[in-house]
Amino acid sequence: MPRASRAQAQAHREEVVTAAAAMVRRDGVDGMTVPQVMAAAGLTHGGFYRHFTSKDDLVAQACAAACAEKEMEREQILAAAPDEHSARRTFIARYLSPIHRDTPSQGCGLAALAADVARAEPDAPVREVYLDGLRAMIDDLSRLDGREPLVETALLAGALMLARAAAGDPLSDRILTAAKDFLLDE
> Which CATH number belongs to the domain containing residue 62 in this structure?
1.10.357.10
Task: Provide the 3-class DSSP secondary structure of residue 186.
Answer: coil
Q: How far apart are alpha carbons 74 and 85 in whole angstroms?
A: 13
Q: What pLDDT, on a 0 to 100 scale, did the predictor assign at position 4?
A: 62
The contacts of residue 24 (CB under 8 Å, 6+ apart) are 32, 59, 62, 63, 66, 109, 112, 113, 116
Residue 62, domain member (yes or no): yes
Residue 96, domain member (yes or no): yes
Q: What pLDDT, on a 0 to 100 scale, did the predictor assign at position 144?
A: 87
Helices (H), the chain: 6-27, 34-40, 48-51, 55-80, 84-95, 98-102, 109-119, 125-142, 149-165, 170-184
Residue 130 near residue 113, CB atoms below 8 Å: yes
> Which residues form the domain of 101?
6-184
Q: Which 8-state DSSP code applies to residue 4?
A: P
Q: What pLDDT, on a 0 to 100 scale, did the predictor assign at position 3?
A: 60
When divided into structural domains, the chain yields a total of 1
Residue 177, domain member (yes or no): yes
- Beta-carbon count within 10 A of 131 CB: 13
Alpha-carbon Rg of the chain, whole angstroms? 18
Residue 104, domain member (yes or no): yes
CA angle 110–115–119, rounded 5-degree value: 125
pTM over 0.95: no
Per-residue pLDDT of the chain (186 residues; tens, 9 = 90+): 456 678 887 888 899 999 999 999 999 999 999 999 999 988 887 778 788 899 999 999 999 999 999 999 999 999 999 999 999 999 999 999 999 999 999 999 999 999 999 999 999 999 999 999 999 999 999 998 778 999 999 999 999 999 999 999 999 999 999 999 999 986
Residue 45 near residue 34, CB atoms below 8 Å: yes
Q: What pLDDT, on a 0 to 100 scale, did the predictor assign at position 140?
A: 94
CA angle 82–86–87, rounded 5-degree value: 90
Distances (CA, A) of 83 to 77, 115, 150: 10, 34, 21
Q: How far apart are alpha carbons 97 and 23 in whole angstroms?
A: 21
Residue 1, domain member (yes or no): no
The contacts of residue 11 (CB under 8 Å, 6+ apart) are none
